[in-house]
Amino acid sequence: MWYNSMDVNHDGKVSVKDVQESENKFTNLHELVGEKANRVQDNIDAWWNKYIFVTGTKKEISESEFVEKLTEAYKIDKIAFKREMQACFDCIFAILDANKDRNIDLDEYINASKAFGHENEALVRKIFSLFNVDPENEALPVRDIVSAWVTFVTEEDSDVTDIIMEAFSEGL
**Which residues contact Ca ion by CB under 5 A?**
7, 9, 11, 18, 97, 99, 101, 103
Q: From the CB of 11, what's the least distance to Ca ion, in Å? A: 4
Q: Which residues contact 155 (CB under 8 A, 6 or more apart)?
A: 162
Task: Find the radius of gyration of the CA atoms of the chain.
Answer: 16
Name which of 81 and 142 has its Cβ closer to Ca ion.
142
Closest CB to Ca ion among residues 84, 108? 108
Nearer residue to Ca ion within complex by CB, 21 or 155 = 21
Cα 34 from chain centroid (whole Å):
24
Which of residues 59 and 126 has its CB atom nearest to Ca ion in the complex?
59
Measure the CA–CA gap between 7 and 29, rounded to whole angstroms. 18
Q: What is the smallest separation between the CB atom of 119 and Ca ion, expressed in angstroms?
A: 15
| Least CB distance to Ca ion at residue 80 (A) | 29
Question: At its nearest, how many Å lie between Ca ion and the CB of residue 142?
Answer: 8
- Least distance between Ca ion and beta carbon 36 (Å): 16
Looking at beta carbons only, is 41 or 141 nearer to Ca ion? 141
